[in-house]
Amino acid sequence: MRIDLHCHSTASDGTDTPAELVRNAAAAGLDVVALTDHDTTRGYAEAIAALPEGLTLVTGAELSCRIDGISMHMLAYLFDPAEPALLAERELVRDDRVPRAKGMVAKLGALGVPVTWEQVERIAAGGSVGRPHVATALVELGVVPTVSDAFTEEWLADGGRAFVEKHETDPFEAIRLVKNAGGVCVFAHPAAAKRGRTVPEARIAEMAEAGLDGLEVDHMDHDADARDRLRGLAKDLDLLVTGSSDYHGSRKTVTLGAYTTDPEVYGEITRRATGAFPVPGTGGA
Ligand code: AMP
Ligand code: FE
Ligand code: FE
Ligand code: ZN
């Protein structure tokens, strides 16, 4: 069983449509794929409609959170997408991404970059708008060669010249909301140091107390030392260990299934979840 529990589609900052994502996941030999767009569940219907036979879809989202001024991402799986409190929080975060992106466009304008909101809006194409869309605009304008190259102090990295904060949820509140909606919480790429400051272990221990289910350990942004340390921490705190690609289509170099999750851990995630069931593919359109 090959299980990839973290993938993005055009519903946020991936480049595969949800239908393309599930087809590509099947073609990559995956048995289980999770759709975890940033702060939205809008891709679910299309992914389910296109789900190939033999592939199972885990519905989810990657929630933007912040603690002690440190941004972090919380993967939420198999929650009830209609549960009102979590839905309201997702919408708050997602909607705030629009004025925030406009703010980054304004800062870029002041820096002499002729990017427009219309350009970013076209690139985002109705998806949950984020820095990768702004970064794609910078690539189109020839300002940087790749999306990753826009994530520097000079441009869009946390605290960078054109960076603007967005509303982000307190992770303890996120855990409470996700649990209340029957979901399971996994701290995404907790040691991705190149993205900025990381959350201290003492805080992760508090999150474990508050109901955090797991840590995403096997991820491209973690080196061997970080993975060893996180595996030890997960053991100490009795947390599940996951691995996943964090696939973004052509906006990142990582491929589907580049990192995977142990089937036993996947089984435990599905046992804990009460908000939704994994969707088995029946060979959709
Ligand atoms: P935002 O949610 O709008 O703040 O943007 C954060 C997103 O930017 C992350 O989820 C990644 O998809 C992407 N990202 C962050 N750092 C990098 C990087 N160095 N290269 C490419 N994409 C990145
Ligand atoms: Fe992303
Ligand atoms: Fe993330
Ligand atoms: Zn992600």
Could you report the per-residue pLDDT of 87-145, keeping only the tens digit for each? 999 999 999 999 999 999 999 999 999 999 999 999 999 999 999 999 999 999 999 99
> DSSP states of 206-222 as a string?
HHHHTT--EEEEE-TT-
| Structure tokens, 228 | 């060893």
The finding on whether 151 has its CB within 6 A of some atom of ligand 1 is yes
Ligand 1, atom 3: closest residue by C-alpha: 130
Nearest atom in ligand 1 to the alpha carbon of residue 129 is 3
Predicted pLDDT of residue 196: 83
> In the predicted model, is pLDDT for residue 175 greater than 60?
yes
pLDDT tens column, 37-72: 999 999 999 999 999 999 999 999 999 999 999 999
Cα 72 from Cα 168, distance rounded (Å): 9
**Could you give the angle at the alpha carbon of 204 between the alpha carbons of 198 and 210, nearest 5°?**
140
What is the overall mean pLDDT for the chain? 97
Pick the ligand that lies closest to the CA of residue 247: 4
The finding on whether 195 has its CB within 6 A of some atom of ligand 1 is yes
Predicted pLDDT of residue 54: 95
CA of 131 to the centre of ligand 1 (A): 6
- Averaged pLDDT, 5-10: 98
**Could you give the angle at the alpha carbon of 170 between the alpha carbons of 169 and 175, nearest 5°?**
95
The finding on whether 189 has its CB within 6 A of some atom of ligand 1 is no
Q: How many other C-beta atoms are found inside a 10 Å radius of the C-beta of residue 98?
A: 16
pLDDT band at 207 (very low <50, low <70, confident <90, very high): very high
Nearest atom in ligand 1 to the alpha carbon of residue 134 is 3
Ligand 1, atom 14: closest residue by C-alpha: 132
Name residues whose C-beta falls within 8 Å of residue 88's C-beta, 6 or more positions apart in sequence: none
Nearest atom in ligand 1 to the alpha carbon of residue 246 is 12
The finding on whether 38 has its CB within 6 A of some atom of ligand 1 is yes
Cα 221 from Cα 200, distance rounded (Å): 17
HSE toward the beta carbon, residue 155, CA cutoff 13 A: 24
Residue among 16, 36, 131 whose CB has most ligand 1 atoms within 8 A, to mutate: 131
Predicted pLDDT of residue 138: 98
